[in-house]
Chains A and B, each alone.
Chain A
Amino acid sequence: MSSGTAMVEVRGVHKRFGRLEVLRGIDLDVRPGTVTVVLGPSGSGKSTLLRAVNHLEKLDRGYVRVDGELIGYRRVGDKLRELPEREVLKQRTRLGFVFQNFHLFPHLTVLENLVEAPVGALGVPREQARARARELLSRVGLADKADEYPRRLSGGQQQRVAIARALALEPKVLLFDEPTSALDPELVGEVLDVIKDLARTGTTMIVVTHEIGFAREVADTVVFMDGGVVVEQGPPAQVLDAPQHERTRAFLAKVL
């Protein structure tokens, strides 16, 4: 089943909303244990691409494979047939997603937020899930907040909890959609530090962000998107410091 060495394989992905074609043939490979940072102007389709990877958006054409497994579809003869929701939900437990606005469950404590998916989706025994949750909370520096409700935490703390919640499923890949965009500037650092720490320990990640400094420091690959296509991709030294395309140069000139 697995073709080549990519952990995430995106091939010819097209997506339109009504008359607007948001993704116009995206190809992308993410090797295991590497960090891919996706840059691009607003509306270029970054979020849509990320959501397509874990099938929060259906595709019009093309496919996504994670660790060799087709996401959201099954090949039947010469067609890709959409999987039943139950199967898609099972696949998503192998992909962690971190949202711009955290989306923590406000009626559950921090610990319960981390326990909910392992228990509810994977059937992990509750005690085991709780022990693991506490480990993860100390990893993101929030061991003392386990019994607090999310709304009583700062934005940076909430996003760290959201990262820990995604990690609780021990996913193969973590997807971040602008994880620091909803935060005050002084809180950005603490969240980026957690992501850097994950990068050091070899977690495969795709990060959509506007933090160029972070991209330069952490990314193995930088992908620049515009108008629903990948304009340019490569190591940060190449894409950020010696961009080949005019559009990349114009974008970097604006954000730097």
Chain B
Amino acid sequence: MTTTTAQLSLRPPADPTAELPIVPHRRPWRLVAGLAALVLVAQFLHGLAVNPGWDWPTFRAFVFSDSILRAVGVTLQLTAYGTVLGFALGAVIAALRLSGSPILRTIAWTYVWAFRSIPLIVQLVFWFNLAYLYKRIGFGIPFGPSFVSFGTMDLLGALGAAVLGLALHQAAYAAEIIRGGVLAVDAGQLEAAAALGIPRFRQAWRIVLPQAMRGILPNAANEVISLFKGTSIVYVMAIGELFYQAQVIYGRTGRVVPLLMVATAWYVLLTTVLSLVQYRVERYFARGSERTPPPTPWQRLRAAVTEIREKQT
């Protein structure tokens, strides 16, 4: 009895179907659609290259010119200050809104309500014209004499007014994004931290925030990128950022399209860089969140290459 079972399990069944090679399902229409799309892309690229209207020589002349590079610098500066100050203030406001105090919660809610309601451009013009409303700003006894005072324009130059406006505006949105991320963290995490006696600030910093980052990051990256392009709104204050500078140049030379392309190229390039940074940071905060983390694009590429090689052999 035992010998027969052993023999049976040793010899594979002589089923010819089990020996047949396996080939993947063919998808001819997918190939056709792909080729058609490629033709359209090729036509578009060809048009870009040969249509003289795009005026590539002018593009080349200006894309790395000093004035444009300086303007890119100003744009990056506005974005950096707006992001850092905006998210720092936003974190404080989110903390207030999540706090136990009804007064603080109401103040935070009102801030968000106000700065989401006022159009950014109105706010910017307001800060820019602060010097018109208050010529001097002084510090001293409220309603009494002031000890020191500054000319408003000295304290708050055009760039300062722009940064202030962008940061205050950004903070309202950042606060909601951070609050959303925090709310999405499982309540059991805080309970476990509390049961372990971990101090309050450390609970927030070490347990809640790193987990909230997963929810915060995609939205925060959206905000940074839209702020980056949104800085072009400060052209109303005649600040030499990228879009304003492009306008100045085409105002002088009359070559509108190539200069818009210059600005666009820089926006696209820098947005791409930001997207790559976002990918990296998101991966960092995703650690431990899945049983098997998805491969990086590099790993995926290598896997594809090995697969193709194996098929050929």
Number of interface residues of A (CB under 8 A): 32
Flag if A151 contacts B288 (CB, 8 Å).
yes
Flag if B289 contacts A90 (CB, 8 Å).
no
Which residues on the B side are within 8 Å of A109 (C-beta)?
288
**A91-107 interface bits toward B, Cβ cutoff 8 Å, 1 = contact, 0 = none:** 11101010101011111
Which residues on the A side are within 8 Å of B155 (C-beta)?
none
Report if A108 contacts B (CB, 8 A). yes
**Least Cβ–Cβ distance between B284 and chain A, in angstroms:** 10
Which residues on the A side are within 8 Å of B195 (C-beta)?
54, 56, 92, 95, 97, 99
Report if A230 contacts B (CB, 8 A). no
**Least Cβ–Cβ distance between A54 and chain B, in angstroms:** 6
Query: Cα distance A183–B188 when bound, in Å?
Result: 18
Give the contacting residue for A89; candidates B189, B200, B287, B289; CB below 8 A. B200
Report if A149 contacts B (CB, 8 A). yes
A103-B189, A106-B211 known; A116 vs B206 contact (CB < 8 Å): yes
Which residues on the B side are within 8 Å of A99 (C-beta)?
188, 191-192, 195
Closest to B286 in A: A107
Query: Cα distance A86–B200 when bound, in Å?
Result: 8
**B187-224 interface bits toward A, Cβ cutoff 8 Å, 1 = contact, 0 = none:** 01101111111111010001100110000000000000
Query: Quick one: which of A121-168 are within 8 Å of B by CB?
Result: 121-122, 149-152, 165-166
A103-B189, A103-B191, A105-B192 known; A120 vs B199 contact (CB < 8 Å): yes
Flag if A117 contacts B198 (CB, 8 Å).
yes
Query: Cα distance A97–B192 when bound, in Å?
Result: 8
Query: Cα distance A95–B197 when bound, in Å?
Result: 9
**Least Cβ–Cβ distance between B182 and chain A, in angstroms:** 14
**A46-88 interface bits toward B, Cβ cutoff 8 Å, 1 = contact, 0 = none:** 0000000010100000000000000000000000000001100
Report if A169 contacts B (CB, 8 A). yes
Closest to A104 in B: B192
Inter-chain pairs besides A89-B197, A89-B198, A105-B192, 6 sampled, C-beta below 8 Å? A56-B191, A97-B196, A103-B192, A121-B197, A151-B291, A169-B196
Which residues on the B side are within 8 Å of A116 (C-beta)?
196, 198, 206-207
A-B contact pairs, 12 of them (CB 8 A): A86-B200, A95-B195, A97-B196, A105-B189, A107-B211, A116-B206, A116-B207, A117-B196, A120-B199, A149-B288, A151-B289, A169-B197
**Least Cβ–Cβ distance between B282 and chain A, in angstroms:** 13
Query: Cα distance A85–B200 when bound, in Å?
Result: 8
Query: Cα distance A249–B300 when bound, in Å?
Result: 62
A89-B197, A117-B197 known; A101 vs B288 contact (CB < 8 Å): no
Flag if B207 contacts A90 (CB, 8 Å).
no
Flag if A89 contacts B199 (CB, 8 Å).
yes
- Residue positions of B touching A, CB distance < 8 A: 186, 188-189, 191-200, 202, 206-207, 210-211, 285, 287-291
Flag if B207 contacts A105 (CB, 8 Å).
yes
Query: Cα distance A104–B189 when bound, in Å?
Result: 7
A99-B192, A103-B191 known; A121 vs B198 contact (CB < 8 Å): yes
Flag if A150 contacts B288 (CB, 8 Å).
yes
Which residues on the A side are within 8 Å of B289 (C-beta)?
106-107, 151
Which residues on the A side are within 8 Å of B197 (C-beta)?
89-93, 117, 121-122, 169
Flag if B196 contacts A92 (CB, 8 Å).
yes
Flag if B198 contacts A120 (CB, 8 Å).
yes
**Least Cβ–Cβ distance between B200 and chain A, in angstroms:** 6
**Least Cβ–Cβ distance between A96 and chain B, in angstroms:** 8
Query: Cα distance A54–B200 when bound, in Å?
Result: 16
Closest to B214 in A: A107
Query: Cα distance A57–B203 when bound, in Å?
Result: 19
Name, among A93, A105, A108, the residue most crowded by chain B CB atoms within 10 Å (CB to CB). Answer: A105
Closest to A121 in B: B197
Query: Cα distance A149–B211 when bound, in Å?
Result: 14
Closest to B287 in A: A107
**Least Cβ–Cβ distance between B206 and chain A, in angstroms:** 7
**Least Cβ–Cβ distance between B185 and chain A, in angstroms:** 10
Query: Cα distance A112–B188 when bound, in Å?
Result: 18
Which residues on the B side are within 8 Å of A152 (C-beta)?
291
Flag if B194 contacts A149 (CB, 8 Å).
no
A105-B189, A107-B210 known; A89 vs B288 contact (CB < 8 Å): no
**Least Cβ–Cβ distance between A98 and chain B, in angstroms:** 9
Which residues on the A side are within 8 Å of B210 (C-beta)?
107
Name, among B191, B195, B289, the residue most crowded by chain A CB atoms within 10 Å (CB to CB). Answer: B195
Give the contacting residue for B290; candidates A54, A86, A97, A151; CB below 8 A. A151
Which residues on the B side are within 8 Å of A54 (C-beta)?
195
Query: Cα distance A151–B200 when bound, in Å?
Result: 25
Query: Cα distance A93–B196 when bound, in Å?
Result: 6
